[in-house]
Each structure stands twice: as C-alpha cells, then as structure tokens.
Amino acid sequence: MEKYEQERFAKLQKLREKGIDPFGGRYDNTQSIQTILKEFVPERDDLKVKAAGRIMTMRPHGKTVFLDIRDWTGKIQVYIKRDKIGEEPFELSKLLDLGDLLGVEGVLFKTRTGEVTIYADSFTLLSKSLLNPPEKWHGLKDVELRHRQRYVDLFTSPEVMQTFLKRIQIIKHIRTFLDARDFVEVETPMMQSIPGGAVARPFITHHNALDIDLYLRIAPELYLKRLLVGGMERVYEINRNFRNEGISTRHNPEFTMMELYQAYSDYNGMMELTEGLVVSLVEKLYGNYEIPFGEITINMKPPWRRATFCELLEEHSGIKYDDEEGLIRKSKELGLETAGIDRDNIANNLFEELVEKALVNPTFVLDYPTSICPLTKTCAHDPRFAQRFELYIASMEVANSYSELNDSIEQDKRFHEQLGTEADIAGKIDEDFLTALKYGMPPAGGLGIGIDRLIMLLTNNVSIREVILFPLLKPK
RNA sequence: GCGCCCUUAGCUCAGAUGGUAGAGCAACUGACUCUUAAUCAGUGGGUCGGAGGUUCGAUUCCUCCAGGGCGCACCA
C-alpha cells in the first residue's frame, strides 16, 4: 500500500518539476460525457468537445495511448497520439495513472472498431490520484469496503451511482407531486425534549448551555400537527428520524421519513394520495407495473387491494378477531408469547407472523385495533377499530396513515392508557401538544412513508444500506 | 442481544489431512502510432483480520476478540 502510494507520489513530483500543478484548478465549459456521446454524428469530423473525468482504463501503444475517462453520466474513450499532441505533452501522458482526474479537449471521431472517441488536442491533469483504484473488471465487491469507502464505490460502480441518482430523482418527484397539490414543505425540530409521535427508543444528547438532555426525534408527527392547528393546512416534511434500535436489511438507525398532513381529509384521502404518488413513480421509473425486487416480481398496477386488518387476519389464520380463545390457541401453536399480552397485541403479533409475509403486491391494511393506534380517530361503525392503514409491499411496511385524532380529551385519555401508571407518565406526555389540540385542530389525514424502503423497492435493492450513502457501521 | 457464515497481495479470487502461499487485474522495466478485459517479454509485491492455545512446526486445528454478511430478536 505504502509502495503504490510512493510510486504515484514520485510521478507527482516529476509533474511538479515540469511545472505542472498535479491538482489542477478551474476547468470550465466542459460537456457531460453523455451529451458528448449523443452529439456525435458520423458525417462530421470537426466536432470540438471538452470533457473531464476519472481515468478508468489505459491502453498505451508506444507512441499512442487510449484511455477511458468516466464522469457521472458516462464513459468515453480518449485517443492521445504523439504526432497530434506534441512530444512534450505526450511525455506527460506517461505520468498519468488509473484514477487520475483528467480534462480533455479534442474532436470526436469513430475508431475503426466503431467506438466514439475524443481525439485529444490537449489534456489537463485535474487531480493526481495517490491510491490504486479497485480492479477494472470486478470493481469493488467487498460490501463492508463499499459502505465504508462509498466514494470509491461510487466512482467504481455506475450501478451504485445510478441507484443514488435515482434516489435523488425519486425524492425530487415526491416534492413536485406534493407541491402541485398545494402542500408546503416545513422543517420541525430534530432535537426534542419529549420524543413523541411513535414508540421507539430514542437517542439521547445533551445541550450544554441549557444543561438539559434532548432526544433526537423518532418522528416529526406532533410538531406537524401543531402546524395544522396553526392553520398550515397542507404540510409535509422529508427528513431524518432516529431510532436507537437494531440494524437490519430494513432498518438503519437514521432513516428518511416523509410525513404529511392534509386538513379536512382522512385516511381514505391518504390512500388515494399514496397510491397516486407511488404509481406515478413506478410509471416514471419503469413505464410498466411489473417491477423486480430481489427474487420476486411485484405487480404495482392500481387499484391496489384494500382489506381490513380483521379480514386479512381471518384469511390467513382462519380465526376471527372476536374469537379471543382462538387467537390465543393459534398463537400458542406458532410458539408466540401470549401471557400478559392483551388481545389486540396478540392479534397484531399473529398478523405480523402470518399475514405480513404474504403481502407481496401492494396492499392497504385498514382499521387496526384502536388500542395500538393512540393518535387515530376510531371508526364510526365500531370504535374498537381505528381509521388507520398501513401499506405493505414485498412484505415491508412502506406507509402508515390515519385519520388524525383531533379530540384533545380523547387524546389525553389515550396517552394515559398507553403509558400506564402515573410514575411512567411523568415527563413523557407532550402537554403542549395537548394544549395545541385544545385550540382546535382540523380533522385531517396524516401519512408517513419510509423513503428508504420506498427507494429500495423502486431501485431493486433488498438491503436498506444499498440506498443510504453512508449507512451506520461500527468504527474500525 | 442470539445463531450460522465470511475475513489470504492495492482489487477480484484460488489453495493446502498441519511443513510459513498462488492466479488474474493493478504496479514496475522494456517493445509496440486505431486499441478496448490491448498484446508480448521480464520484475517486484503477503504479519494469510487480531490475540492466545495444541504441535517439532499453525495461514490451515481449537479458544477468545474485532469487523462484516445473512437470519432471528428488537422495531405502531
């Protein structure tokens, strides 16, 4: 390692001796390689182009050298010929290495073998690379190295670059979609003194001047609803949530969540919105509704199935929600814990065990038991159930939505039921949120979409770490 | 947190019932003015993840540790 670096450093010194700055500077008016490749027309041999990119391969042939440079849009071959470029510059080309960043000016032509190539009039070293890039053919395969040194992964693997560019495109599309429907994007606190809006272990941090502990937010929900009270009728936020829990192919401690709230809507409105949004993304990225995901193919064609929690539970377990003994019996058959657990949670555990795995094509699961939905309005026809849906695709929970509970008295009661004893409650209920509700919050639909998971689906990556630029890894 | 698996050259990978390792790419030297996984000739490169143990001898067997992958658990 040391050795390779020294060899390259020696070349760098030689360049300096020749008066060349090995780290370049401003290099204006380049065109993207993709644009250059599109511009080429076979009839013309005088199209001047200027490109900049990283040297990926080099094929020296005595008094000529072919090299491929890549930028973030594509790859193009460069042809450097001594008789064309002059003796001194040609000597400089011998000090180039794989991985160096190079600027090239020249005319386009097609080689005998049919490859569009820049016939270099001149080249400029824009940055000397001091480390060996990974192998040209296999690239960087080691998953750990790919994540730790994402910068290498990105310049080595165009597919990885494409995944992240798609991620950016998807998030941009979501913003455009929501902006077109009169939503406004807002920012709410990441550091909260009471972590609310979800149930999860938070990260704790400390503010020195105030000498108080703060929590990194587990959800923005309670602040976004305050904005509904304030009269911001359609708000959304796309930003990070932090949960101090296990790491898996579907969980990263910090992840990107989109939450939105629409006054005077409800969870039915949110279903329409969700389906419209995700389908528009599928159409944009795929042009058809059959999308591959790992080993499976998902059919995203709307309309998506809508089925209640109870229907699905019965469909996959043969047991009705009302049949408490049946639920317990089935749970025991499956080896699930039942002691000290109430019926709703037993039902929910059974649901997770039996139903979720089967939900491959998009399915809206409606009307969860009220006790596991503390922030949700109950169903008019049966208050044991709440107006909530979760959207499952490929057995992953992708979205979660409800008709927002706007009755402050009911909300107060639910918080207390959720938290249990008075001792547990101290300092854990966001009283200011309840105060806000008392002023009056419009009935509203709320929606949360796990952006990373959505991007996994839309880019065919089965691990969340493949769609997060710098996933959390233990320090080496 | 638990279980299974992985860690060998800069990168991608071989390998040995235990006798201190090999290929391709990359690098270095030379030849080559339309090549493209360029080619040809030659050269160098390794604490075999770390620490212990067994052994005459360990990279190989055992234990522990670290990092990672997958699954489970956790996760409204």
Residue A199 is predicted with a pLDDT of 86
pLDDT at A421 > cutoff 80 = no
Residue A341 is predicted with a pLDDT of 82
Q: From the Cβ of A9, is strand B under 7 Å away?
A: no
Task: List pLDDT tens digits, range A330-346.
Answer: 888 888 878 778 888 88
Query: Residue A426's pLDDT band (boundaries 50, 70, 90)?
Result: low
Distance between CA atoms of A471 and A435, rounded to whole angstroms?
38
Residue A412 is predicted with a pLDDT of 93
Residue A3 is predicted with a pLDDT of 85
Nearest to A76 by CA among A35, A40, A133, A117: A117
A347 CA – B36 C1', rounded, Å: 62
pLDDT at A121 > cutoff 80 = yes
pLDDT at A110 > cutoff 50 = yes
* Whole-prediction pTM: 0.94
With CA of A82 and C1' of each nucleotide, the nearest comes out as: B33
Residue A424 is predicted with a pLDDT of 60
Tell how strand A290-293 and strand A64-71 pair up.
Answer: unpaired
Q: From the Cβ of A157, is strand B under 7 Å away?
A: no
Protein residue nearest nucleotide B13, by CA to C1': A138
Phi, psi of A190 (to 5 degrees): -85, -30
ipTM summary value: 0.92
Of A448 and A372, the structure prediction assigns the larger pLDDT to: A448
With CA of A109 and C1' of each nucleotide, the nearest comes out as: B34
Query: Residue A425's pLDDT band (boundaries 50, 70, 90)?
Result: low
pLDDT at A50 > cutoff 60 = yes
Supply angle C-alpha A21, A50, A26, rounded to 5. 35
Query: Residue A476's pLDDT band (boundaries 50, 70, 90)?
Result: confident
Q: Which long-range contacts (CB under 8 A, 24 or more apart) does A244-247 make?
A: A244/A200, A244/A201, A244/A202, A244/A203, A245/A200, A245/A201, A247/A472
Residue A1 is predicted with a pLDDT of 47
Strand B within 7 Å of which CB atoms in A 36-95? 57-64, 66, 68, 77, 79, 81-83
Burial A407-441 (b: 16+ CB within 10 A, else e): ebeebeebbeebeeeeeeeeeebbeebeebbeeeb
Of A353 and A220, the structure prediction assigns the larger pLDDT to: A220
Strand B within 7 Å of which CB atoms in A 186-205? 197-201
